[in-house]
Structure 1
């Protein structure tokens, strides 16, 4: 009897260019069935583009190369009909701004029913019953009455729950959540994170959680990829990265986390900004901002390689293996929401 591939999604040497400008530089990552993977980094690092490319949602001017496999099925260069079988059914994505993703002139119930018709072929009362079940599942109170309301009649947090309900309509194997807690207050953020954890436990689906919020990542993910300027620079378990970040960029992200209690210490920001894709440094893209950089860092880009502890790291001068302070770990694992 053959063995089942544990990886649901496999991206190999994924590259994306817009009008000849390279924005992704060979992404290699996998998502196992049922796991929760975090993708972190500053805005402009390529987190969202990676998954928009994987799902064939980039505009026509984007040139996408490499390998994108879902259950071994190649999607890079696939026909539109093949992509449509995967989108929503096998992999669903919720976007950063739910209010702009919901149709403002259609009632919520109709939008969820439409997803059920497309992905599961449900019609009539069966579709309505299932839509109400999904609204209950994501915590929308008084679902029968609110079924006929419009998006503007829901709060920001409730709109995010509605987007999750629509994503679940196709019973996906993987949910890609792109900044799902952006612009929500701390209490609502915590509720959305709890909901994602509960849904994973109930459905067994995998989760890709795209965020710049390390606290949120620590609450829902088991493994983390850190991206910078279109590349993965470090990958490991939450325990590894949160106790001993080795890439200078990862360490910089931790050092920049603010305190919410105790004395008001000055933050340690990462100097500079993410470089323009048109003008990347010749070597490591982070070298102009890196306090550990040496001359070689400015001329040669390090390959992403496995380390002795199982993590992957792309750096010539890693941060010394010292443990992140107990205070920093406490703030991170409390999700910065205490």
Structure 2
């Protein structure tokens, strides 16, 4: 985070379902106005981290640790305190707008509801603010479209509606959970540009959860790579693309086809993500890692600083001199959908 003031500080966050641990002590700080990417295969804990932070997991989930916002711990906080945070201080764009928008309520009412709840505006003032938000997210003819239903918008426009609702409370932090999933490349680029513009205008911080390393490279200043419920590498985005030092991170990049004309055989990551209920005694990635040794199989490597601004959870991180340069124009980095 450099010299940024922390907005949210997550310390030793752990989550278990039916006694099975799925998050194993997440430590993460988000600075004011910062854009941070969370990447990794499906099921690694990216979304669960923030659902736990906001108290949105089912009651059967066991959650422990600290999530500090303005000095207050959100873990175990009463419902009234969390309701004052959700949407107002921290807003979340969920993965599927079609399941998040109410299909039988006009979009203007859905935006106005958030405006009334978090900012106290009512009547024409709320209506005017809803129209302004539709203009802000690029919905044409905003005054008329306030009276439309979600099914009358395209998929990309519904994602813009979700962004408008998220912005209605003027949050300090926006959690964007796979906001470009199922969108074509042109619409995806428009959504990323919109998020960047809104961040520049409002000064809010963004956590961008994605499988798409190309999208992360365009919007985020720092990246956290997650695997099997742990952060395994974190550093500035440019450094990650130049020198991915954890073998798992390197594997993600090696599996991306290049679009710059060169022909290179893709190198898949062998094996599968381990079952959370049957994690190995050592590093969770050891069974898939060609660099794994006896120590890796018997002990779990802590997340350790290996250079200024970079931490890696690996007993044998890859040396920079042995790494090819992955940093290139984002348009030459295609979407990476991880299984």
Which bin holds the TM-score, normalised by the shorter protein?
A: over 0.9
**Which residue in the other structure is 2:302 paired with?**
303
- Provide the rounded CA distance (Å) in 2 between the counterparts of 1:322 and 1:170: 47
Instruction: Give how far 1:262 is off.
Output: 2.2
- Provide the rounded CA distance (Å) in 2 between the counterparts of 1:107 and 1:322: 57
Instruction: Give how far 1:151 is off.
Output: 0.6
- Provide the rounded CA distance (Å) in 2 between the counterparts of 1:316 and 1:11: 24
Matches within 5 A, 1:190-201: 190-201=189-200
Query: Which segment drifts farther, 290-299 or 48-57?
Result: 290-299
TM-score w.r.t. length of structure 2: 0.95
Contact 2:4 2:32 in 1 (8 A): no
Instruction: Give how far 1:320 is off.
Output: 2.1
Contact 1:218 1:333 in 2 (8 A): no
Query: Which segment drifts farther, 270-279 or 184-193?
Result: 270-279
- Provide the rounded CA distance (Å) in 2 between the counterparts of 1:93 and 1:323: 39
Instruction: Give how far 1:330 is off.
Output: 1.8
Instruction: Give how far 1:109 is off.
Output: 0.6
- Provide the rounded CA distance (Å) in 1 between the counterparts of 2:246 and 2:97: 33
Secondary structure of the corresponding residue to residue 329 of structure 1:
coil
Instruction: Give how far 1:322 is off.
Output: 3.0
**Which residue in the other structure is 1:76 paired with?**
75
**Which residue in the other structure is 1:123 paired with?**
122
Instruction: Give how far 1:258 is off.
Output: 1.5
* CA RMSD across the alignment: 1.5
- Provide the rounded CA distance (Å) in 1 between the counterparts of 2:330 and 2:141: 35
The 1:72–1:323 alpha-carbon spacing in structure 2 relative to 1, beyond 3 Å, is farther
The answer as to 2:243 corresponding to 1:249 is no
The answer as to 2:40 corresponding to 1:41 is yes
The answer as to 2:237 corresponding to 1:238 is yes
Instruction: Give how far 1:333 is off.
Output: 6.4
* Number of residues of Structure 1 aligned to a counterpart in Structure 2: 333
Tell me the alpha carbon deviations over residues 11-60 of structure 1, each in whole angstroms, 9 at most, x when there is no partner.
00000000100000000000000000000001010000000000000000
- Provide the rounded CA distance (Å) in 2 between the counterparts of 1:260 and 1:99: 32
- Provide the rounded CA distance (Å) in 2 between the counterparts of 1:184 and 1:273: 27
Instruction: Give how far 1:334 is off.
Output: 4.6
Instruction: Give how far 1:261 is off.
Output: 5.0
Contact 1:13 1:27 in 2 (8 A): yes
Tell me the alpha carbon deviations over residues 101-157 of structure 1, each in whole angstroms, 9 at most, x when there is no partner.
100111111100111111111111000000000000000011111111111111111
**Which residue in the other structure is 1:146 paired with?**
145
The answer as to 2:57 corresponding to 1:52 is no
TM-score w.r.t. length of structure 1: 0.95
**Which residue in the other structure is 1:336 paired with?**
334
- Provide the rounded CA distance (Å) in 2 between the counterparts of 1:135 and 1:234: 37
Contact 1:10 1:69 in 2 (8 A): yes
- Provide the rounded CA distance (Å) in 2 between the counterparts of 1:318 and 1:296: 13
Query: Which segment drifts farther, 47-56 or 260-269?
Result: 260-269
Moved runs in structure 1, 4+ residues, more than 4 A? 331-335
**Which residue in the other structure is 2:291 paired with?**
292
Unmatched runs of 5 consecutive residues or more in structure 1: none
- Provide the rounded CA distance (Å) in 2 between the counterparts of 1:101 and 1:180: 12
**Which residue in the other structure is 2:176 paired with?**
177
Instruction: Give how far 1:260 is off.
Output: 3.3
- Provide the rounded CA distance (Å) in 2 between the counterparts of 1:126 and 1:304: 49
